Amino acid sequence: MGSDSKPVPERIWVIDVGNSNTSLGIYADGKITQRDRVPTASLAEHDIHTRLAAWQADHPVSGAAVASVAPAVNGILKRTIAEIIGTPPLRIRHDMQLGASLTYPEPETIGEDRLANLAGAVARYRLPAVVVDIGTATTFDIIQPRKGYAGGIIAPGPALMLDYLAEKTALLPPVDLTPVRAAFGKSTEQAMRIGALHGYRGMVKEICTQLMRKLHSNNLTLCATGGYARWVLKGMELPFIYDPDLTLYGIGRIYELNANRTPTS
């Protein structure tokens, strides 16, 4: 090959372990490919080993990075990844290079997924920005040009609204979070779904509206990610950017920024 040929970019696994679901992807050259999503509760050692071994056979990688908010599966993931690719994963930490500063008073308390969202948003979008990650919990993270990560807001996710109603009432049943087109319900289940959808959209809209006022910015970038983001954003009046790969991309970006660091547990 000629001297002008470009080196093949490193391919790594990027894994976002959430409370309810775990997202997996392959990161190379600033892009996410080969996505997968599984319930976190299903990450038994045999199952994750089988899944990752199959990925490695079809799409070999040389490294891995993990952001996790589920400590119970961290040991399983570390052992499995080290066995399959020969090196333990890089665990996301607040004291790594993230592409932006942390002016938050207790940075060690920031979730690893939120650090990944920070790194991804700084690399992809104009600041100031608010990243809204809509999952089991919903986080609003504020990123400013000079201060970097300045703080955030944590609220319940949309599914928790339905879970709470079923748990705390005698007659309301457990209901899955599925789309509803009707303006009002003609069954208990439909009424609960509509209440969760519109009530949740109203909460997201009000929090973002208040942040826009407090930050005195008419050019605030609103970015949304997470498993329920598309469902919640449909019909919203605010100018959201929907970025389903933001967290995985941010994990890959942190790996690049810290490529020479020793992987952590």
Contacts of 190 (CB under 8 A, 6+ apart): 180, 182
Q: Helices marked H in 17-137 — which ranges?
A: 45-58, 74-85, 112-124
Distance CA 139, CA 111 (A): 10
Instruction: Give the number of other CB atoms < 10 A from CB of residue 133.
Output: 26
Tell me whether residue 155 is exposed, middle or buried, using C-beta atoms within 10 angstroms of its C-beta: 0 to 12, 13 to 18, 19 or more: middle
Contacts of 43 (CB under 8 A, 6+ apart): 17, 22, 73, 76, 77
Contact 62, 256 (CB under 8 A): no
Contact 244, 72 (CB under 8 A): no
Q: What are phi and psi of 112, to 5 degrees?
A: -60, -35
What is the Cα Rg of the chain in Å? 20
Catalytic residues: 113
Distance CA 172, CA 98 (A): 45
